[in-house]
Amino acid sequence: MILVHRLRGEPMFINADLIASIEATPDTVVTMVDNRRLVVQEVPEVLVARVQEFRAALLVAASKYRSGERGHLFLINGEDSDLEEAD
């Protein structure tokens, strides 16, 4: 899941795996695989970076899981790259 903000500023998490496309028209429009469209504040480049970070985090977590390391839960507080480890 990645954090986005509606035009009025309300935060919302969306499933990164269900994004079909992201376009600037000039507002950023996120089209989901079921053709629902969301208009968000973030520019497309920010959303792409968040999706990449999300997927990279999944790969790291899977690698740690396979190697037998104890997993950690991270809470994303809405800012890029600001992660807080939860107990």
pLDDT digit string, tens, across residues 31-80: 999 999 999 999 999 999 999 999 998 888 888 777 777 656 565 555 55
Domain count, the chain: 1
Distances (CA, A) of 8 to 15, 38, 40, 45, 60: 20, 12, 9, 20, 34
Query: Does 81 have pLDDT greater than 50?
Result: no
**Which amino acid is located at 25 in the chain?**
T
Please state the pTM of the whole predicted model: 0.72
What is the domain extent for residue 18?
2-85
**pLDDT value for 86:** 43
Q: In the predicted model, what is the mean pLDDT of residues 5-32?
A: 95
Q: In the predicted model, what is the mean pLDDT of residues 3-29?
A: 95
